[in-house]
Amino acid sequence: MSGLLKLKTAAELRQIYLRHEMFPTIFCDGCGLGNVLNYTLWALDELQLDLDRTVFVSGIGCSSRLSGYVNADGMHTTHGRALAFASGIKAAQPDLNVIVFTGDGDGSGIGGNHLLHTIRRNMDLTVILVNNFTYGMTGGQAAPTTPIDSFSTTTPYGNIEYPLDICALAQTLGAPYVARWMINQPYPPIKSIAQGIQKRGFALIEMLVPCPTAYGRRNGLKQLETIWQWYRDHTILIDDYEHIMHFGSPDERAALHDKIKIGIFQDCERESFEARWAALVEQVKL
């Protein structure tokens, strides 16, 4: 991504892309949501995206507050319904760029059914799904992605439910672009968000974001360096994972049981809902 060297400074990005009256942010110390917003702005600037033709949509939750900081048209919608609103916008105005900020609870718990059918329809949306393993804003309850044995307000003795792999779900449903990244490596997610915006069809970029206040505090990860190190220790690139699975020793393969794969899971072409709808309209006219 050679254009990264020519990107504007952080001060220039703030001046162009952000609503100054919204600051300071509501985010807790150590939260990675600022990084997610920063990477998104870098991707927008890399693509020179027209903000007058771009709409940001979000639901309810910490991550869903991100849309309010961007100086562009947006919708802060009801809990779990961001994809429904975004689908309506895209269907009515197919030429708009529609970017959705959602969380693991808002997007895969409360809004899980919308996630399934938005991918099935292959709506041309870019979905940046922030996964912090918890319902952070509404009390620190267990979410669909909460790791097994983790503690939360609703699992005080440890979570016994297997977590949902959102990227595996999206990949299985045929989403043209699926990726997952940590926030401590900026260039892969910036490039991935830009690729997702350019992809015609449903693009999902899952961001693993630390939550020291809700998830971290209850799981011995309140200190910033501790929780960042946890992500370093528990993630692995897809290529490395597959290499170990094929060529590693039994002990090396066994060590993968608690690893979260990161990287690009799927990058393919599939006709979007909007393209199929336009073709149907033309056919009916004839």
Residues 6+ positions from 98 with CB-CB distance below 8 Å? 54, 55, 57, 86, 89, 90, 124, 125, 126
- What percent of the chain clears pLDDT 90, i.e. is strictly above it? 86
For residue 258, the Cα-to-chain-centroid distance in whole angstroms is 21
Question: If one looks up domain 29-284 in CATH, what number appears?
Answer: 3.40.50.970
DSSP the chain: -GGGGGPPPHHHHHHHHB-GGGPSP-PPTT-SHHHHHHHHHHHHHHHT--GGGEEEEE-SSTGGGGGGGBSSEEEE--TT-HHHHHHHHHHH-TTSEEEEEEEHHIIIIITHHHHHHHHHHT-S-EEEEEE-SEETTTT-EE-TTPPTT---SS-TT---SPPP-HHHHHHHTT-SEEEEEESS--HHHHHHHHHHHHSSS-EEEEEE---IIIIIHHTT--SHHHHHHHHHHHEEEHHHHHHHHHHS-HHHHHGGGGPEEEEEEEE-----HHHHHHHHHHHHH-
More confident residue, 185 or 7: 185
- Range with lowest mean pLDDT among 2-11, 64-73, 259-268: 2-11
* For residue 1, pLDDT beyond 50: no
pLDDT tier, 3 (very low <50, low <70, confident <90, very high otherwise): very low
Give yes or no for a contact between 262 and 236, defined as CB atoms under 8 angstroms apart.
Answer: yes
Give the closest residue to 57 by CA, choosing from 34, 31, 85, 37.
Answer: 85
Domain ranges in the chain are 29-284
The answer to whether the beta carbons of residues 150 and 215 sit under 8 Å apart is yes
> pLDDT (tens digit, 9 = 90+) per residue, 237-251?
999 999 999 999 999
- Residue 31 pLDDT greater than 60, yes or no: yes
Q: What is the pLDDT of residue 9?
A: 80
* pLDDT tens per residue, range 150-169: 999 999 999 999 999 999 99
Going by pLDDT thresholds of 50, 70 and 90, the confidence category of residue 49 is very high
Mean pLDDT over residues 107-133, rounded? Answer: 96
Q: If you average pLDDT over every residue of the chain, what do you get? A: 93
How far apart (Å, rounded) are the C-alpha atoms in residues 103 and 111?
A: 10
- Residue 6 confidence class, pLDDT cut points 50, 70, 90: low
Note the pLDDT of residue 144. 96
pLDDT of residue 2: 46
pLDDT value of position 7:
63
pLDDT of residue 5 exceeding 70, the answer is: no
138: pLDDT strictly greater than 90: no
Q: What is the pLDDT of residue 39?
A: 95
